[in-house]
Structure 1
Amino acid sequence: MKTKVLLLMLILFLTNEIIAQKFENLAQTPPMGWNSWNSFQCEFVNETVIKEMADAMVEKGLKDAGYEYIVIDDCWQIGRDKNGYIIVDKKKFPSGIKSLANYIHSKGLKFGIYSDAGIKTCAGRPGSKGFDTQDAEMYAKWGVDYLKYDWCFTEGQDAKISYKKMRDALYKTGRPIVFSMCEWGENKPWEWAEDVGHLWRTTLDIDMKGRFDGDIWDNHLGWTTILDMQVGLEKYAGPGHWNDPDMLAVGNNDMPENEARAHFTMWSMLAAPLMAGNDLRNMSVNDQNILTNKELIAINQDVLGKQGFKIEDMGNFEIWQKPLSNGDMAICLFNRETKGKKYQVDWSKIKIKDFSGTYKVKDLWKNKVIGTTDANFTIEIPSRDVVVFRLMK
């Protein structure tokens, strides 16, 4: 009898271990898509907006460039029924979430949704605490492909336990869903979340409003400040498990073209998820060209899955490297000054890792091969801008 009990306990343990995992073979390269929050937040998000963003993603060439997820952020939910199942805000989404997901899927895109590990979402809507199973069931029923899971109103909760609960609930549905952990880096998820989520936020949100000093570039949570916080995290990223420094700010707050180009480049170098947050319907030609630049997207989406890292730091001038497949590498010269900088490129003196032999040098923003690493040259990097090369064997 004792043997049978022990055997049963072993079976139950092994069963739980099998169930307690995330979906594999998802997000093998950093996810690319669009999220509603930066442009529409709670007040303006609705069914029509989401459909029009899906239309624009196709019409503006983002789908062809690799973007695939349309993600509704907060404020699609309004309550729970007597069985604990989430209720959709019918004023904002009169056709329901399943219908909306079907529309997005009909465009050849994937559909994402938002919830929170706490009792309420950041906007005060119902959170998933205590309702992980019911919510996961609904997401699978609706055809959700991606879940952004926030960390508001979680007082007294353990992040590891809370995120594992939703991971397990998603897995039990049988529907592969990318799990995006928006825990803000408070509990260093890069150290423990590889088997929990497919990506995890490393910081609080980018300060989209510039509300502390009026500058989205380098205020206390401007994007360059967040970039600095990624240094040293590269060892934790790879296929299926990515550091997430937050959504792209390109196309928001009248970001100048040079700054937008630098921002997009550095997120590409970081192998960061490329989640646009601008209004795709009326974006400028410059922003469209930046977001769909095939050369930079290829750097971000490289199948080797290596996050870039800083190799030179000269104050407001930095050099970053990103290893690529087939022995290639990306080298980015980043000028953080408010004036242009001339730089003598001497390949033998730059501290490039695993650099050997001769490479062809392609300027990626000019989309032009400019020579080889056997030749040195002087280049000017404009103010708050980048020059990025692909070195090819």
Structure 2
Amino acid sequence: MAALALPLAVVGLGVPEQPAAASDNGLSVRPAMGWSSWSFVRRWPTEAKLKAQADALVSSGLKDHGYVYINLDDFYQKCDSNGFVVDQYGRWAVDEAKFPSGIKALADYIHSKGLKFGFYVTPGIAKNAVTRNTPIEGTSYRAKDIADTSKQEKNYNCKNMYYIDYSKPGSQEFVNSWARQFASWGVDYLKIDGVGSHDIPDVRAWDKALRATGRPINYALSNNLAIADAPTWRQLANSWRTQGDVECYCGPGPNGSGFPLTDWAHITSRFNSAANWQQYAGPGGWNDLDSLEIGNGDQVGLTADQRRSHLTLWAMAASPLLLGTDLTALTATDKAMLTNDRLIAVNQDGVAARRISNSGGRQVFSKREANGDYIVALFNTNTSGNQTVGVNWSQVGFSGAAEVTDLWSGASAGTVTGSYSAALRPGETRLIRATPQSGNTVRHEAENASYTVGSTIDSNHGGFSGTGFVNTPNAAGAHVEWTVESATAREAALTLRYANGTTAGRPMDVSVNGVVVSAGRAFDGTGAWTTWADSTLTVPLKAGSNTVRVTATTANGAPNLDYLDRG
């Protein structure tokens, strides 16, 4: 019964209670939206191509729907036989043949369109900087003072990047000088690529450097980062890539460039990623599922049904929406997808969905928005065969009836009681908004609450609701806390579902908004850990958000807690 593992706590609305402090740089309160050069432009970016995409982002109307970033990815640099050509301070030199006006001029052009400009770097210091022993701007130090030439950093272009030894004076100053250069050029978004867990010192140094510039720069990490270090990524950055590239590299051009850009297998692999990383997303930091390959019709490698599912998953996961397609050749079908404000609102609500069902290609994700509505996405991820995909409202988090709206079409499905289902073609999705009717019970699963460090989410005793139950430490003061919404100030019935497989009572104080409303409330033995019981009490709620906390009062700790129902 005693819990040993550290928890990954989440609050009652489905928004993570951060396992580590979120980045406090004030950026990316909602997921970033825009376009990135890698998928379509790939290894051949130029000033003219970037300007054309910026023009198209505006003229297509995408900008008016929130897509504002134009991000220049890799291969803007100049290389020689020893790696990156560098400037007088050891920083990468821009290939003037590709960008004759320079990066600042390009950023100025993008800004003139009312857009934001993104840029790219990888960890380390270039071999040419070390060979030349270039000075570090504003210091008496030089490249050889900070380079660890025994190890080479990952780099996808010119290679030949040495590790930086951050124990050496001048190392932070080198990164600071690079960040100042980017800020002076007008960079609004920086992707640092090739990041692994061994690069946490670099990630931390770039975080410090970007803050020191005084310019707001959205800070993104890539790619395929370790989930074990998710609290660190969240503390230091605004987004982090949860997997490798979404591109299939199966096109007819060099290095697999050209259409198709991706395939269905590269999209469906993201479903597990979205589920596994869900708890780390929240305002200021997002799980990045990679580029959104929608815009150029079927030639991207996905059918229209698959593209709608692609966008639906990214929206439900609150992933950044960074288009990878050719914006100068948008199809009418895809433009309608990308400008569907109902879908965009699901992405921008600041809540990452949890997966509540996954069986035989039938998957269901849901999330609860701040106004009390539930967003539910049903998917048939198979490549053949129609499937009926269904969900009970109790799995979603409430009971009774709800008004249902199809968010792709905008059509009302009327009042739906108890459960919802849809017959879906292979690769098809159904995305709905369910608004529980007034007076219905709203369920708050314990696994989606915040709870004492040392608690675990367990599933080893059957009969629970949702995906598990909370097992707190056996200690006085162990607690679980929910956020409960109420449309008005009123008296409300709360029902706590619990199991206590011991013969000793596990009393708890029940408090609402910090005031104890039931002291030492009895939660006696239920006969077995698989036998669940209800404890119902009436409490005062204020209009809006309320905190309901149960706190163990003895060394036995709390009983296993399944959910809190609000009537």
Q: Give the structure-2-normalised TM-score.
A: 0.60
Change (3 A) 1:216 1:103: closer
| 1:199 equivalent in structure 2 | 239
Change (3 A) 1:170 1:377: closer
1:161 to 196, 201, 213: 201
The 8 Å contact of residues 190 and 243 in structure 1, kept in 2 or not, is answered as no
What pairs with 1:310-325 in structure 2 (closer than 5 Å)? Answer: 310-325=355-370
The 8 Å contact of residues 23 and 178 in structure 1, kept in 2 or not, is answered as no
Change (3 A) 1:344 1:337: closer
The 8 Å contact of residues 75 and 125 in structure 1, kept in 2 or not, is answered as no
The 8 Å contact of residues 404 and 416 in structure 2, kept in 1 or not, is answered as yes
Q: Give the structure-1-normalised TM-score.
A: 0.85
In 2, the alpha carbon distance for the partners of 1:127 and 1:58 equals 37
What pairs with 1:138-157 in structure 2 (closer than 5 Å)? Answer: 138-151=181-194
CA RMSD of aligned residues (A): 2.5
In 1, the alpha carbon distance for the partners of 2:412 and 2:358 equals 26
| 1:38 equivalent in structure 2 | 39
What pairs with 1:213-252 in structure 2 (closer than 5 Å)? Answer: 216-219=262-265, 222-250=266-294, 251=296
What pairs with 1:13-92 in structure 2 (closer than 5 Å)? Answer: 24-43=25-44, 45-78=45-78, 79-92=85-98
| 2:322 equivalent in structure 1 | 275
Change (3 A) 1:133 1:127: farther
In 1, the alpha carbon distance for the partners of 2:34 and 2:162 equals 24
Secondary structure of the residue aligned to 2:207 is: helix
TM superposition shift of 1:359: 2.5
In 2, the alpha carbon distance for the partners of 1:301 and 1:164 equals 27
| 1:180 equivalent in structure 2 | 220
TM superposition shift of 1:25: 1.7
CA shift digits 1:205-248 (9 cap, x unpaired): 11433589x994454xx111122223232111100011112111
Greater strand share, 1 or 2?
2
Amino acid across the alignment from 2:110: I
Secondary structure of the residue aligned to 1:50 is: helix
What pairs with 1:244-323 in structure 2 (closer than 5 Å)? Answer: 244-250=288-294, 251=296, 253-302=300-349, 305-323=350-368
Amino acid across the alignment from 2:199: A
Change (3 A) 1:23 1:54: farther
Change (3 A) 1:198 1:128: farther
Instruction: Say yes or no: does 1:109 pair with 2:156.
Output: no
| 1:392 equivalent in structure 2 | 435
The 8 Å contact of residues 342 and 378 in structure 1, kept in 2 or not, is answered as no
Amino acid across the alignment from 2:361: N
Greater helix share, 1 or 2?
1
Amino acid across the alignment from 2:334: D
In 1, the alpha carbon distance for the partners of 2:389 and 2:221 equals 42
What pairs with 1:351-370 in structure 2 (closer than 5 Å)? Answer: 351-352=395-396, 354-370=397-413
Amino acid across the alignment from 1:209: Y
TM superposition shift of 1:346: 6.4
* Count of matched residue positions in the alignment of Structure 1 and Structure 2: 362
Change (3 A) 1:203 1:376: closer
Gaps of 5+ in 1: 1-20
Secondary structure of the residue aligned to 1:184 is: coil
TM superposition shift of 1:118: 3.7
Gaps of 5+ in 2: 1-21, 79-84, 127-154, 165-173, 437-567
Change (3 A) 1:368 1:187: closer
In 1, the alpha carbon distance for the partners of 2:313 and 2:23 equals 28
| 1:8 equivalent in structure 2 | none
TM superposition shift of 1:22: 5.4
Change (3 A) 1:340 1:361: farther
CA shift digits 1:14-58 (9 cap, x unpaired): xxxxxxx95522100111110000001112x10011011111011
TM superposition shift of 1:376: 6.0
CA shift digits 1:325-381 (9 cap, x unpaired): 211121011011234535375644x611x3245432100111111112337676321
In 2, the alpha carbon distance for the partners of 1:260 and 1:391 equals 23
Change (3 A) 1:31 1:189: farther
CA shift digits 1:161-212 (9 cap, x unpaired): 1110111111111111000011421464423222210001111111433589
| 2:456 equivalent in structure 1 | none
In 2, the alpha carbon distance for the partners of 1:370 and 1:42 equals 47
Amino acid across the alignment from 2:345: A
| 1:17 equivalent in structure 2 | none
- Of structures 1 and 2, the larger Rg is shown by 2
Amino acid across the alignment from 1:372: T
1:100 to 106, 113, 126: 106
Change (3 A) 1:344 1:145: closer
In 2, the alpha carbon distance for the partners of 1:231 and 1:258 equals 21
Q: Which moved more, 1:52-61 or 1:246-255?
A: 246-255
The 8 Å contact of residues 378 and 389 in structure 2, kept in 1 or not, is answered as no
In 2, the alpha carbon distance for the partners of 1:272 and 1:192 equals 18
Secondary structure of the residue aligned to 1:26 is: coil
Change (3 A) 1:51 1:63: same
Secondary structure of the residue aligned to 2:395 is: coil
In 2, the alpha carbon distance for the partners of 1:82 and 1:99 equals 20
In 1, the alpha carbon distance for the partners of 2:240 and 2:313 equals 18
Secondary structure of the residue aligned to 2:184 is: helix
TM superposition shift of 1:123: 1.6
In 1, the alpha carbon distance for the partners of 2:339 and 2:160 equals 36
Secondary structure of the residue aligned to 2:235 is: coil
| 1:124 equivalent in structure 2 | 158
The 8 Å contact of residues 47 and 98 in structure 2, kept in 1 or not, is answered as yes
In 2, the alpha carbon distance for the partners of 1:384 and 1:170 equals 41
In 2, the alpha carbon distance for the partners of 1:300 and 1:331 equals 13
